Every structure is written in structure tokens, then in C-alpha cells.
Amino acid sequence: MTKAQKISLKTFVVLVALFMLCPTVNAAQTSIAIGTGGTGGGYYPMGGGIATLLAQKIDGVTASAQVTAASLENCRLLQKNNVQVALANAAIMYGYVDKRLKPKKFPGISSIMSSGWGDIIAVSSKKSPIKSLADLKGKRVGLGAPGSATETINKLILSAYGLYDIKTAELGVKPAYLSFAEMSAGLKDGRLDAAMYFISGRPSSALVDLSTQRDIKLIGFEDAILSSLGKQFPFMVATDYPKGMYKGVDYNIKTILANDVLACRTDLPTDLVYQITKVIHQNLPELKKTGHHGFKMWSLTRSVGGVFPLHPGAKKYYDEIGIK
């Protein structure tokens, strides 16, 4: 090989190396990991949709959805900086994470926005004498899968009826810690007297299926209970649940919405969180077109008061567009 050829080869190698390095440097300007949940749950596809959107719309940002154990783990991953943005249920983010539901703090985490809502729907057989959640005393009640946000929220609700003692963890019902499918099966075969679902989307496919196979009734909340829960737990909001969504249910009830939160590390730059907030809200119609029912519950609102402080970047966007 001649001297000129050697020089040319060295130049080629250097150019190739520089070519390979350049995109890596650009892509690594800002990398965002989004904590979601299991691949079979709702958080994972929503996190994936958000990651794709941020990477497409914000210059110099790469983003990816991370499979996690959902709400509680996401809070801890945020604190460790293993993820920078995450989805979680407000009840968990508010700190009710142990079996006695004692509030705990998660320093270093801020809110970006409310990310959808779920209804608490209590269901029993149409022939059941149960008329109020107070009538669940001593009854066999499905409370959701063990360790789930459904279990947590249902216990907080039962505390308002004197059926759960937050200090001692004593229950006034016979609990059945089951998945939604298992609760529906228990109602169908009479093993459960009632079940309390925490579900997003109206109507719920689980309850549509149940109502076509068994005559059911929905159990509403009294005004005084709704007021008490809203004051004690800021992430719970009273709502009307309309009739006509399930076979044989031709009446409205009052129930509770409990929301999910899109959160982030407090130390993320203000401008970055401003861009994230702006891009998600301006592209909500496109996210809703993905077909995932979770996005259909999102709206242009600030995060829930009392969960986490609003990040300054998110506040800047909401102030700019006049959302109180």
C-alpha cells in the first residue's frame, strides 16, 4: 500500500468515526424515559404514544416508554432518576401506599397534568337488598387485585362508611382481592355480594359483558359521603354516572372520579416541561385517534390539587393559555 493510500485510508476511518458520533451526540441532547406499567395494562400504550409524540415534536428530544410495575414503582423510579416522566394513579401519588393507607411523601416529584379519570362503580345483583355502600357491612365484596390502585381507592371510600379503619386496617366487609374478570365471575355465580370497580371509559366493557349475562344494579353515593371524601382526599371528585350504558340500568347514580397523573422530576428544566405540556395538549386530538380509551378521558386541565405541586414549566403553559 502506498503512502498516499495509507493517508487516504486513515482519513476515511476518521470520517466514518465522526459520522457515527455526530448523530449520537445530537440524539443524546435530552433523553426522556417514561415510566408506565405492564405491557397488558393501559399505562404502557399511553406512555408509548406520549414518547412518540415528544420525540416527533420537540427538537433534540428522544423518549421511550419503560415497562414498570406502575404507580408506586414509578414514583420511586422518578426519585432515583431512572425515569424522568411517569404515569401513576393519584391515590398512590398522594401517598397511600401501605396496607394501612398512611399518607407518605415523595420529595422531588412534580405534576404536569391530570391524565384521565376512572369511575368507582359499585355493582351487585339486581335482586340484592343492598341499596347503599353502608349495606356492605359483613358482606363478601370484591375490592380489586391485591396491591392495586383499585384496592387502595376502595378502602379509602369504605372508610367514609365506617367500613375501613385507616389506623388499624380493620375491614367491616369480607374482602375478596380479585381482578375485574374474577370479580365479574364472582357476581355471576353468587360468590360475591358486591364488587367495586375502578374503571376508565364509559361504558366499561367489563360491565357491558356482565350486564348481558346477569341482572345487575349500580350502587350510588350519598351527597354527604361525596362531600366528605372530596374534602379528605383531593384526588376524588364527585360525578354523575348516566343511565342507559348497561342492560337494565335505566337510572343515573352519583359516584366518584379518581384520576391519574402525568408527573415528572422537579429538577427537569422549566422550558422542557413547558414544551412537554404544550405538545401533549396541542396534540390531544391525535393521541385520542390512536384508539386507546385512556386518552379519551384526558382533557385540558391542570393537575389535581394536593397530589404533587405543579411543575413551574407546566404552570407557565397553563398561565399562558388562561387555564386556572
Distance CA 13, CA 19 (A): 10
Q: What pLDDT sits at residue 159?
A: 93
- Where is pLDDT greater, at 154 or 306? 154
Q: What pLDDT sits at residue 213?
A: 94
pLDDT in tens, 187-242: 999 999 999 998 776 788 789 999 999 999 999 999 999 999 988 887 788 989 99
- Cell numbers at 234, concatenated: 383531593
Q: What pLDDT sits at residue 22?
A: 37
Segment among 10-19, 28-37, 106-115, 247-256 with least mean pLDDT: 10-19
Q: Are strands 109-125 and 194-199 parallel, antiparallel or unpaired?
A: antiparallel
- Indicate if the pLDDT at residue 127 is higher than 90: yes
Q: What pLDDT sits at residue 101?
A: 66
Highest mean pLDDT among 4-18, 32-46, 164-178: 164-178
Band of pLDDT at residue 69, cut at 50, 70 and 90: confident
Q: What pLDDT sits at residue 4?
A: 47
- Where is pLDDT greater, at 67 or 5? 67
Distances (CA, A) of 21 to 26, 29, 32, 59, 281: 9, 13, 20, 18, 34
Q: What pLDDT sits at residue 14?
A: 43
Q: What pLDDT sits at residue 279?
A: 96
- Indicate if the pLDDT at residue 300 is higher than 90: no
Q: What pLDDT sits at residue 324?
A: 73
- Indicate if the pLDDT at residue 8 is higher than 80: no
Distance CA 15, CA 19 (A): 6
Among candidate residues 108, 101, 71, the one with its CA nearest the CA of residue 259: 71
Q: Are strands 140-142 and 30-35 parallel, antiparallel or unpaired?
A: unpaired
- Per-residue pLDDT, averaged over 144-159, amounts to 85
pLDDT in tens, 9-40: 454 444 444 334 333 333 348 999 999 887 76
- Cell numbers at 277, concatenated: 405540556
Distance CA 296, CA 118 (A): 11
- Per-residue pLDDT, averaged over 304-309, amounts to 63
Distance CA 156, CA 113 (A): 23
Q: What pLDDT sits at residue 236?
A: 85
Please provide the average confidence, as pLDDT, over all residues in the chain: 84
Distance CA 193, CA 221 (A): 17
- Per-residue pLDDT, averaged over 253-268, amounts to 92
- Indicate if the pLDDT at residue 7 is higher than 70: no
Q: What is the percentage of the chain residues whose pLDDT exceeds 70?
A: 83
- Indicate if the pLDDT at residue 306 is higher than 90: no
Output the 3-class SS for the chain.
CCHHHHHHHHHHHHHHHHHHHHHHHHHCCEEEEEECCCCCCCHHHHHHHHHHHHHHHCCCEEEEEECCCCHHHHHHHHHHCCCCEEEEEHHHHCCCCCCCCCCCCCCCEEEEEEEEEEEEEEEEECCCCCCCHHHHCCCEEECCCCCCHHHHHHHHHHHHCCCECCCCCCECCEEECCCHHHHHHHHHCCCCCEEEEEECCCCCHHHHHHHHHCCEEEECCCHHHHHHHHHHCCCEEEEEECCCCCCCCCCCEEEEEEEEEEEEECCCCHHHHHHHHHHHHHCHHHHHCCCCHHHHCCCCCCCCCCCCCECHHHHHHHHHHCCC
Q: What pLDDT sits at residue 16?
A: 42
Domains along the chain with CATH numbers:
3-116+261-321 (3.40.190.10), 118-258 (3.40.190.10)
Query: Counting Cβ atoms within 10 Å, is residue 3 exposed (0-12), middle (13-18) or buried (19+)?
Result: exposed
